[in-house]
Amino acid sequence: MTDIIKLTAAEIAAKIASGELTAVEVTEAHLARIEAVDEKVHAFLHVDREGALAQARAVDEKRERGERLGPLAGVPLALKDIFTTEGVPTTVGSKILEGWIPPYDATVTRKLKAADVVILGKTNMDEFAMGSSTENSAYGPTGNPWDLTKIPGGSGGGSSAALAAFEAPLAIGTDTGGSIRQPAAVTGTVGVKPTYGAVSRYGMVAFSSSLDQGGPCARTVLDAALLHEVIAGHDPLDSTSIDVPVPPVVEAARNGSVAGMRVGVVKQFRGEGYQAGVIERFDESVALLKELGAEIVELDCPSFDLALSAYYLIAPSECSSNLARFDGLRYGLRTGDDGTRSAEEVTSLTREAGFGPEVKRRIMLGTYALSSGYYDAYYGSAQKVRTLITRDFEKAFEQVDVIVSPTTPTTAFAIGERADDPMAMYLADLCTIPTNLAGNAAMSLPCGLAPEDNLPVGLQIIAPAMQDDRLYKVGAAVEAAFVEKWGHPLLEEAPSL
């Protein structure tokens, strides 16, 4: 079992295709791992054992019939509990959808099934994807496999923890302000936020519609690329979906190189609040890029300093609109409906019981920002800042091919450490938010351990919209050079659970 769960997704797929392993064997090994360690990690909210084994058997039957298998056929995956999955609970980490079983699949879920990827179950997350630590889940926090007293990032901490704990070789996350990249950084894994609109949002429960983006999570750059290719592409069911070909991400991951590339370093992505060990590992990564043949270019993007403020007006405003649908009348939780109360009273009681503190905080912020007399001062101004950030990126990409930065200002902090300080919590997304506001593509990959605490540090790579292949080209080159020089931190230094 240990040998199987340590394989990459690409290796698993190759062994299944050749008949060296069966999909059922692979699935059983990962289900056994979940059973052995997830009580401590709490990466999963629901494990679909029977469904996963049925999918695995179907893959084995295909191979026996001589049918051609896809590049990820039979590979197990952990799915963030924000994607609807027919017949399987989808709670979005909230009590307001406790026990809800969707009657349809999200487009991402459908594409995974069509590619014969085996979905093990649904992973824990901050309620409605609102958070940076997976402490805001209504079902309890997830632990970081590197140190179970630390957070695994958020909002997709369950997906990142499942990878780091070797419960699954692949996972799916969503990124509204950094919720794929930030968990990847603090767990020593790879996470990619594709260009906005490149992966369908149909069936993905909405938090902030102009920012939300699903994407791949894995332990290697190539695995992430293979998964990216499966889930990306135009979807007529999503009005924000981009009707252009998927960039050649797998080819880029197989042919990583930065020779002759111009790599930007933004001066706003360092300074006060950044952990010394994070900056040390980042500077080493920049030096490594230079060794590999890249030209390093210093960039000044002044509007990036305003990104956090703009984000925390735009995202709550959109969330206050999106979450209005949870009224206790159509689906999910219903409280106080004893025949004596009005519909308005039932809705109020349901929301009081069903939404957690962080969700209520953001709904209140957003409703205030959109209210009469404040719309232009707050929401309107934030959208203007968003335009300035987009322009700063456009100017930067006239000078460079990609931008690099630390993914997070610090390594994983202790569970509970920032629970009573929302501003300190929000600062965890300082480096990731500008990309969401502009809609660009970005990746986080491991770049070593911080000397202060021996916890993972992430390197962020940012590329222009629809140039996602650049992420993989640079990421694969950095990953290969890093492994050759220092070894893979997750495979060689991660503590056993």
Q: What are the start-end ranges of the H helices in 42-192?
A: 49-64, 107-114, 157-164, 181-187
In angstroms, the CA 467 to CA 446 distance is: 21
Q: Is 179 known to be catalytic? A: yes
In angstroms, the CA 121 to CA 47 distance is: 4
Q: Is 155 known to be catalytic? A: yes
Q: Rg of the chain over CA atoms, in angstroms?
A: 21
In angstroms, the CA 80 to CA 199 distance is: 15
The answer to whether residues 483 and 493 touch, using CB atoms and an 8 Å cutoff, is no
The H-or-E segment that residue 469 falls in is helix 468-486
The H-or-E segment that residue 402 falls in is strand 402-406
Catalytic residue selected from 132, 133, 155, 317 = 155
Half-sphere exposure of 191 (CA within 13 A, CB side): 39
Q: What is the DSSP letter of 465?
A: T
- Tell me which residue has tokens 């004596």: 340
In angstroms, the CA 11 to CA 153 distance is: 27
Half-sphere exposure of 440 (CA within 13 A, CB side): 26
The contacts of residue 165 (CB under 8 Å, 6+ apart) are 33, 37, 38, 41, 43, 145, 497
The answer to whether residues 186 and 489 touch, using CB atoms and an 8 Å cutoff, is no
The contacts of residue 372 (CB under 8 Å, 6+ apart) are none
User: Angle at Cα 453 formed by Cα 140 and Cα 150, nearest 5°?
Assistant: 0
Q: State the CB neighbour count (10 A cutoff) for residue 15.
A: 18
Catalytic residue selected from 179, 200, 208, 320 = 179
In angstroms, the CA 77 to CA 74 distance is: 9
The contacts of residue 39 (CB under 8 Å, 6+ apart) are none
- Tell me which residue has tokens 């069903």: 354
Catalytic residue selected from 80, 122, 150, 193 = 80
Largest CA distance in the chain: 73
In angstroms, the CA 222 to CA 179 distance is: 20
Query: What are the catalytic residues?
Result: 80, 155, 179
